[in-house]
Each structure stands twice: as C-alpha cells, then as structure tokens.
Structure 1
C-alpha cells in the first residue's frame, strides 16, 4: 500500500514541478520568435481540454451506470 501511495505522490509532485517550471518560462505564443530558447514543456491548453473531455466522459459513464 505504501508503494502505491508513493507512486501516486511522486506522479503528483512531478506534474506540480513541471507546471511550476512551465509557468515561470516564457511562451512562444505570447512573445513571438524571441522566446524560442525557453519554450514550455507541456501545452497546458491541450492538457486542460483533454482533462475536461475525460471528466465529461467519466461523468456520463457514471450516470449511465448508476441509472441501471
């Protein structure tokens, strides 16, 4: 049980670290070609869209399963 908790905690810390690093670096969209040396690691807009689609699908599946 401790191993799985450690894996989950490690994954959350990794995501938080990448988000913190990306939020401090400049974006090529915001600053044009001059920001090409410090591009972000993750496209957070795409990640947010995928996350929202996953949440909607899980919610609709839950409603479908709980109505039976």
Structure 2
C-alpha cells in the first residue's frame, strides 16, 4: 500500500468519525447524525481518488497509469 493510499483512507476515516461526533453533539438526534454521516461517507467514498484506492486494494491493475510507482 502506498503512502498516499494510506493518507486517503485515514482522511476518510478521521473526517467521518469527526463529523459523527460533532453532529451528534450539535443535533442530539441519532437519525440526523446518521444521515449526515452517511451522506458524507457516500460523498467521500465515491470520489475518484477513493475509487482508485479501493481498486488497488482489491488488486485490480490501474490501466490508466495515472499514478505510477517509479
């Protein structure tokens, strides 16, 4: 796993946990908190970088050569 992949995964995890905690404290409503956190996770996980990270973690080759390990 490359360092930029690890940073992308850590960013996704950290921001999701932070949003869950902050929205839980702000709204004090579990349904709103889960909806906001789910919307954020759906947004972040469907970004092109995270899609490439998930493909690389599954072992699929990156035929585009966008990120080369040289």
Q: Report the TM-score when normalising by structure 2.
A: 0.35
Higher helix share: 1
When Rg is computed on C-alpha atoms for both structures, the one with the higher figure is 1
Higher relative contact order (CA 8 A, sep 6+): 2
